[in-house]
Structure 1
Amino acid sequence: MYPILFHLGPLTIHTYGVMLALGVALGAWALAVLARRAGLNQDRVLSLALWTLLAGLAGARLAYLVLEPGPLGPQLKQFFMIWQGGLVFYGGLALAVPVGLWLARRYGLPLLTLLDISAPAMALGQAFGRLGCFFSGDSYGRPWDGPWAVVFSDPHAIAPQGVPLHPTQLYITGALLLIFAFLWWLWPRRRFGGQLILLYGLLHGVARLIIEPLRGDWRGEPLWGWLTPTGLFAALMAAACLAVYLALRRRGGQPPAAGPGRAARRRGATSRSA
């Protein structure tokens, strides 16, 4: 595809970096909108999101370098070159979650509401990140001569050149956009706190499990058949989210927390009807 978008003097603008930045911007927009609707302090939410994002990028990059075959030393020199591609989602999740939980406690933000408004934002941001993978040739699929196979010819692409491949990057991009649309629609209709984040974890894990056997890039030594470490993480995340979701739904769940803005709107509606 187009790993390099253009050159600006000595500066090389990578398409992956542009799409990653676009995903961050759109994810921040979605988060700000939902934070306002939930009555949360937008400045604190966006500050938390920034630090959590940085932790997630660091974890995702480190996991990629650990799983990538070859000596680790030379690869660590490329740690900050995320614009060239090479991020492992579950590595980012492992570092972003504890940082986000600590900041939520420090800022005094309601955890379940914060997680629920983060779910659509993460799905939207990830979708554009995966689109960046497509342009850079990262996370490529297995050889396939089907009707919508893609062939990479750019010498800067990570994917094998001249070989028809499954467009796995587009598969996961489409899945993430559908997840985003569904969660965005569900937000005002949610029944209990944590519902959106649990559905995000479940749907994302299932999508990864479906697409994982079609990928041709290296994601660690297979544990069993096609099941790689990232595939196992997806399965565990989906199973855990499903179990917690069913348990909360069976018990009636905890009603969504009403932030100050939401509570004020409710009081206004009550006074007008009185």
Structure 2
Amino acid sequence: MYPNLYYAFKDIFGIELEGLKLVNSFGFFVALSFILSAWILTLELKRKQNQGLFTFTEEKIFVGAPASFSELLINFLLGFVFGYKIIGAFVTDDAFNDPQAFILSSKGSLAMGLLVGLVFGGLKWWEKQKQKLDKPEERVIRIWPHDRVGDFVLYAAVFGFLGAKVFHNLENWNEFSKDPIGALISFSGLTFYGGLICAGIAIVVFARKRKINVIHLADAMAPTMMFAYAFGRVGCQVSGDGDWGIVNTNPKPISWMPDWLWAYNYPHNVIGEGKPIAGCEGPYCNELIPPVYPTPLYEIIACMFLFGVLWYYRKKLKVAGQLAGLYLILNGLERFFIEKIRVNTKYEDLPFQPTQAELISLTMIIAGIILMVKAKDWFAKYAK
């Protein structure tokens, strides 16, 4: 396992770069997932635009004015945080011994913060000076849905993270009640469906406000979200973030199957779970004994395949809303069955003792079926 990119570069390339200890492997792959998903969503929105399914909105912008105080202040603050924490880590003693603790602490370099803040503010001033006109003017520009992909990604990231934290703490209320502040600011402890629900609501509200057809947007988002989930799971597998399966000591069903594909120890996992590894020194020196099902790996394979299914049917399903319905069904089925071998908190007081994800996935399956059946009646005027 590679808790951060420092260990990945050290193992793969034999290079030791202390600064890479600040780059958490899970966060790196999640960020990469957002970038690639944004590209996929842009392709789909442009395709639907060419079909005449989207229209533009007009917005007024003011050009040629010098940098405002608020613009300079925002850029200074962004630069200050970057200099204080990221660059400051290189000049602060012991920052790399526990990067997460350092980032969450008040430690940093005030000098680096002020210096980089001034540089960021100066760059914004210089950029505006180059665009400055003798007489600033108001212009009307056309904005298409694919021009707002950056906004969609921002909303998905912010509200997705908040929703994932809230749903995780609701699912693990006993742990949250013992240390609420630690649970809220911790980098671990995220629930996918919480993020999906909250990010989905935020994006729908944003789309309606910007007069973007929500049902066509949902169809475009279907393959995008499946890909994002699959690629995001790479971070879970690489870092060993605790999102693994139950203990698996059963014999392999197929003799030629690699051991790590059937049962895995997650050595050097990022959360330090398991028993000490003999001869290992420093952080991240534990492994799971006995091994467990590598469920993140299973989900990577399954959801990449399901992404391919959705990508194929995006041009086959002609009724608006049906692709979104198919996504709900496929995602719900995949998650429902993987829950059977995942480590998760169960609701002991409910019949069959389901997990939070099982309840949500069943709801998604039912909603997806209804959407596919009723889409023609509900969205006939939005036919492709």
Query: Does the TM-score normalized on the shorter chain lie above 0.5?
Result: yes
Give the C-alpha shift of residue 22 in structure 1.
1.2
Q: Give the 5 Å matches for 1:109-128.
A: 109-128=212-231
Computed over aligned residues only, the root mean square deviation of the Cα atoms, in angstroms, reads 2.4
CA contact 1:191–1:256 (8 Å) conserved in 2: no
Q: Give the 5 Å matches for 1:19-34.
A: 19-34=29-44
1:77 paired with 2:87, answer: no
1:254 paired with 2:358, answer: no
Give the C-alpha shift of residue 87 in structure 1.
1.5
Give 3-state SS (helix, strand or coil) of 1:102's partner: helix
CA contact 1:143–1:164 (8 Å) conserved in 2: yes
CA distance in 2, matches of 1:104, 1:30: 18
Give the C-alpha shift of residue 25 in structure 1.
0.9
Give the C-alpha shift of residue 49 in structure 1.
3.4
Q: CA 1:60/1:155 → structure 2, altered by over 3 Å: closer, same or farther?
A: closer
Structure 1 consecutive aligned stretches of length 4 or more whose deviation exceeds 6 Å? none
Q: CA 1:45/1:170 → structure 2, altered by over 3 Å: closer, same or farther?
A: same
Tell me the equivalent position of 2:14.
Answer: none
Structure possessing the higher radius of gyration over alpha carbons: 2
- Pairs aligned (count): 254
1:229 paired with 2:239, answer: no
CA contact 1:32–1:46 (8 Å) conserved in 2: no
CA distance in 1, matches of 2:185, 2:223: 27
CA distance in 1, matches of 2:26, 2:166: 18
Tell me the equivalent position of 1:195.
Answer: 322
Between stretches 229-238 and 58-67, larger displacement belongs to: 58-67
1:37 paired with 2:141, answer: no
| Paired letter, 2:168 | Y
CA contact 1:35–1:117 (8 Å) conserved in 2: yes
CA distance in 2, matches of 1:94, 1:252: 22
CA distance in 2, matches of 1:155, 1:109: 43
> TM-score normalised to the size of structure 2?
0.61
Q: CA 1:73/1:94 → structure 2, altered by over 3 Å: closer, same or farther?
A: farther
Give 3-state SS (helix, strand or coil) of 1:154's partner: coil
What is the aligned counterpart of 2:265 among 138, 141, 151? Answer: 151
What is the aligned counterpart of 1:208 among 335, 341, 359? Answer: 335
Gaps of 5+ in 1: 259-274
CA distance in 1, matches of 2:223, 2:273: 29
What is the aligned counterpart of 1:181 among 308, 317, 321? Answer: 308
Give the C-alpha shift of residue 142 in structure 1.
0.7
| Paired letter, 1:154 | H
Tell me the equivalent position of 2:153.
Answer: 49
Give the C-alpha shift of residue 163 in structure 1.
2.0
CA distance in 2, matches of 1:11, 1:239: 44
| Paired letter, 1:8 | E
Higher relative contact order (CA 8 A, sep 6+): 1
Tell me the equivalent position of 2:165.
Answer: 61
CA contact 2:295–2:338 (8 Å) conserved in 1: yes
CA contact 1:193–1:255 (8 Å) conserved in 2: no
Give 3-state SS (helix, strand or coil) of 2:5's partner: strand
CA distance in 2, matches of 1:185, 1:17: 29
Tell me the equivalent position of 1:270.
Answer: none
Between stretches 20-29 and 188-197, larger displacement belongs to: 188-197
Identity %: 28
> TM-score normalised to the size of structure 1?
0.83
CA contact 1:4–1:14 (8 Å) conserved in 2: yes
Give the C-alpha shift of residue 89 in structure 1.
1.4
CA distance in 2, matches of 1:206, 1:33: 27
